[in-house]
């Protein structure tokens, strides 16, 4: 099976030391990306680690396809214990970082320890440099990029950066790259900030040789020739369809459709788009550089989830206001979903829906933990009681827009996901929106969900963009990775099971696979899900199931 190649680079920011080691067995078993990072985290991070303590480890990882010229491969993975959910968390980001990352010769970089002084860490194919950067305390993401470019001649496409939100350990702080692309969900920016790392740069000319099958060029050609509407409107193209046919959560989930949807949806975003946007090597080009001529505001996006979180969920019906929220989150390093939903919870408590000026003020206050922002920086799960509102989160992670009350299989996915209310953890929502699965009810969906979670976990290990589904189906995945599709799903299955086992050791069980609303036959569907996975009825991995696999990724 095709897998990433190269060595693991471990960087101890407390001791200012770095070393490399062979992880060929782990790469062969888990391909790369989320898979190998999950294996390493499972074996190296203490099960009782404080997510914001020095014993947590932060992984950046690529897959074999970042060595290709293929569309849908300009992404990479980050993994750590989440300060928001308290479980293991993987997230990926696009942009132009991935090929600069693999050029260092390392498919996985592991950051350990904790620095007392704020650091910029510079990684290339000759070694690691530690630079104290007190002048960057409190700097925004673009300000940090400008500094590194000026001093080291490395642009934002070489960087991962913690904004002020990460430095201040906001529990849903993002790690940013290419200035506007986010390792968004779960608060890994706070992990980076807690380690005293402002940014890490990657550069080199030592990418290991990986032979990619010729099908890569067929995929690239199809992506270039497609007239897919995502090329014009990105993920926002489905906004009005979802609002009208299913549900667009509105005013902190109190309503299920938004009367101003046309003012924040796909057409509104496309009207502000002023150039083509893409990721490294990708001919699909679904990104959304937008500009408002009247105010001069420029940002990238908003994508659909931000249109929801800072639009309908907050009761804000002006696309320029949503663009400003998006831009602030990018500059300060915040996950737009968790930030928008948490702010919407506050708006609900104060009866201030639609107050865009207040929204923008709260984004700033959260990132710097000022005033009420200090409370909101903890996320909905930790602040809802004080606000007197419902807890719209699962495993501590705020809900995305795809509403499980309308598409019930997605609701089950939110509950079973090891990451919490993560709409990217499985691909089942697409099957319910398309009608391949009846969106109502859970009958027969557990086994479908297992396969869908496994497929998503494999693609995150590959690393293959989630928006490639129409172009990189089962047969092409088999050709790319030189293995039967069942073997690819088996990799994904091992990844999901390792995540579950790690979380079990931290106290997670069936009681955490829950939702703030009722679904038909939910408990029976949970039973079916655990049975399909071969897990215990209490949501735990059977004892000894992971035994014999402890050294596969070069564990200490």
pLDDT for 328-349, tens place per residue?
999 999 999 999 999 999 999 9
Nearest Cα neighbor of 347 from 331, 335, 330, 359 is 359
Per-residue model confidence as pLDDT tens digits over 284-336: 999 999 999 999 999 999 999 999 999 999 999 999 999 999 999 999 999 99
Mark out the alpha helices in 333-379 (DSSP H runs): 336-350, 356-368, 373-376
Domain contains 336? yes
Query: For residue 314, what are the domain limits?
Result: 226-398
**What pLDDT does residue 546 have?**
87
Q: What is the mean pLDDT of residues 418-429?
A: 96
Q: How many Cβ atoms are within 10 Å of 17's Cβ, its own excluded?
A: 13
- With respect to residue 293, please indicate whether it lies within any of the assigned structural domains: yes
Residue 208 in any domain: the answer is no
Would you state the pLDDT for residue 141? 98
Q: Residue 551: pLDDT band by 50, 70, 90 thresholds?
A: very low
Position 212 scores a pLDDT of 95
pLDDT in tens, 339-397: 999 999 999 999 999 999 999 999 999 999 999 999 999 999 999 999 999 999 999 99
Count of domains forming the chain: 1
Q: What is the mean pLDDT of the chain?
A: 96
Measuring CA to CA, which residue among 135, 165, 139, 141 is closest to residue 155? 141
Q: Which two tokens stand for residue 530?
A: 């655990």
Quickly list DSSP for 6-50: SEEEEEETTTTEEEEEE-HHHHHHH-SHHHHHHHHHHHHS-TT--
Cα Rg of the chain (Å, integer): 21
pLDDT-based confidence at residue 196 (cuts at 50, 70, 90)? very high
Distance separating alpha carbons of residues 105 and 127, to the nearest angstrom? 10
Q: Average pLDDT, stretch 23-29? A: 95
Residue 467 lies in a domain: no
Looking at the domain assignment, is residue 167 inside a domain?
A: no
Is residue 168 situated within a structural domain?
A: no
User: Tokens at residue 485, please?
Assistant: 């599709």
pLDDT 10s digits, 91-148: 999 999 999 999 999 999 999 999 999 999 999 999 999 999 999 999 999 999 999 9
List beta partners, residue 10.
Answer: 19, 110
Q: How confident is the model at residue 553 (pLDDT cuts 50, 70, 90)?
A: very low
Q: What is the pLDDT of residue 461?
A: 98
* Digit-coded pLDDT (tens) for 49-93: 999 999 999 999 999 999 999 999 999 999 999 999 999 999 999
Report the CATH number that the domain containing residue 368 is assigned in CATH.
1.10.569.10
Distance between CA 480 and CA 490 in Å, rounded? 16
- For 67-76, how does the pLDDT look when each residue is reduced to its tens digit (9 = 90+)? 999 999 999 9
Q: What is the pLDDT of residue 547?
A: 57
Specify if 93 maps to a domain.
no
Does the structure show a pLDDT above 50 at 258? yes
pTM (two decimals): 0.96
- The percentage of residues in the chain with a pLDDT greater than 90, rounded to a whole number, is 98
**Which 3 state secondary structure label does DSSP give 205?**
coil
Give the C-alpha distances (Å, rounded to integers) separating 126 from 24, 111, 271, 362.
21, 18, 46, 43
Instruction: Look at residue 555 and tell me whether its pLDDT is greater than 70.
Output: no
Q: What is the pLDDT of residues 220-244, one digit of tens each?
A: 999 999 999 999 999 999 999 999 9
Eight-state DSSP code of residue 468:
G
The reply to whether 149 falls in a domain is no
């Amino acid at each position: 099976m095709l897998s990433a190649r190269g060595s693991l680079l471990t960087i101890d920011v407390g001791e200012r030391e770095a070393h490399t080691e062979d992880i060929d067995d782990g790469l062969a078993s888990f391909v790369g990306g989320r898979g190998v990072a999950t294996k390493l985290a499972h074996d190296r991070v203490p099960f009782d680690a404080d997510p914001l303590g020095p014993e947590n480890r932060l992984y950046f990882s690529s897959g074999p396809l970042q060595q290709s010229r293929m569309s849908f491969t300009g992404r990479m993975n980050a993994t750590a214990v989440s300060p928001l959910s308290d479980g293991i968390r993987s997230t990926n980001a696009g942009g132009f970082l991935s090929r600069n990352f693999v050029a260092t010769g390392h498919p996985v970089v592991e950051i350990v320890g904790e620095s007392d002084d704020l650091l910029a860490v510079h990684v290339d194919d000759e070694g690691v440099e530690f630079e104290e950067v007190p002048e960057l305390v409190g700097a925004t993401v673009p300000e940090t990029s400008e500094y590194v470019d000026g001093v080291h001649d490395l642009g934002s496409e070489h960087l991962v950066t913690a904004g002020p939100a990460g430095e201040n350990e906001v529990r849903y702080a993002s790690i940013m790259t290419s200035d506007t692309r986010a390792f968004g969900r779960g608060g890994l920016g706070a992990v980076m900030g807690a380690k005293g790392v402002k940014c890490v740069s990657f550069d080199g000319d030592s990418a290991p040789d990986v032979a990619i099958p010729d099908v890569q060029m067929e995929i690239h050609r199809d992506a270039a020739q497609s007239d897919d509407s995502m090329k014009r409107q990105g993920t926002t193209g489905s906004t009005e369809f979802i609002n009208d046919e299913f549900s667009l959560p509105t005013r902190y989930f109190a309503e299920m459709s938004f009367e101003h949807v046309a003012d924040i949806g796909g057409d509104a975003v496309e009207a502000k788009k002023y150039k083509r946007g893409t990721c490294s090597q990708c001919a699909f080009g679904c990104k959304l550089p937008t500009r408002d001529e009247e105010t001069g505001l420029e940002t990238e996006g908003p994508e659909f989830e931000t249109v929801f979180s800072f639009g309908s969920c907050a009761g804000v019906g002006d696309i320029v206001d949503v663009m400003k929220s998006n831009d602030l989150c990018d500059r300060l390093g915040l996950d737009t979903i968790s930030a928008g939903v948490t702010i919407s919870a506050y708006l609900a408590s104060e009866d201030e829906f639609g107050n865009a000026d207040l929204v923008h003020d709260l984004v700033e206050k959260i990132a710097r933990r000022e005033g009420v922002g200090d409370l909101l920086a903890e996320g909905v799960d930790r602040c809802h009681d004080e606000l007197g509102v419902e807890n719209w989160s699962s495993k501590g992670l705020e809900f995305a827009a795809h509403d499980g009350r309308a598409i019930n299989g997605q609701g089950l996915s939110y509950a079973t996901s090891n990451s919490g209310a993560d709409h990217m953890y499985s691909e089942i929502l697409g099957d319910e929106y398309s009608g391949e699965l009846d969106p109502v009810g859970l009958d027969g969906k557990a086994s479908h969900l297992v396969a869908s979670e496994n497929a998503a976990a494999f693609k995150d290990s590959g690393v293959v963009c989630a928006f490639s589904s129409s172009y990189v189906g089962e047969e092409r995945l088999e050709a790319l990775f030189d293995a039967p599709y069942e073997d690819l799903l088996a990799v994904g299955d091992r990844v999901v099971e390792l995540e579950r086992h790690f979380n079990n050791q931290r106290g997670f069980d069936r009681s955490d696979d829950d939702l703030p609303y009722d679904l038909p036959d939910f408990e029976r569907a949970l039973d079916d899900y655990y049975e399909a996975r071969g897990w215990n009825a209490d949501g735990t991995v059977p004892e000894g199931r992971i035994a014999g696999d402890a050294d596969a990724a070069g564990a200490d």
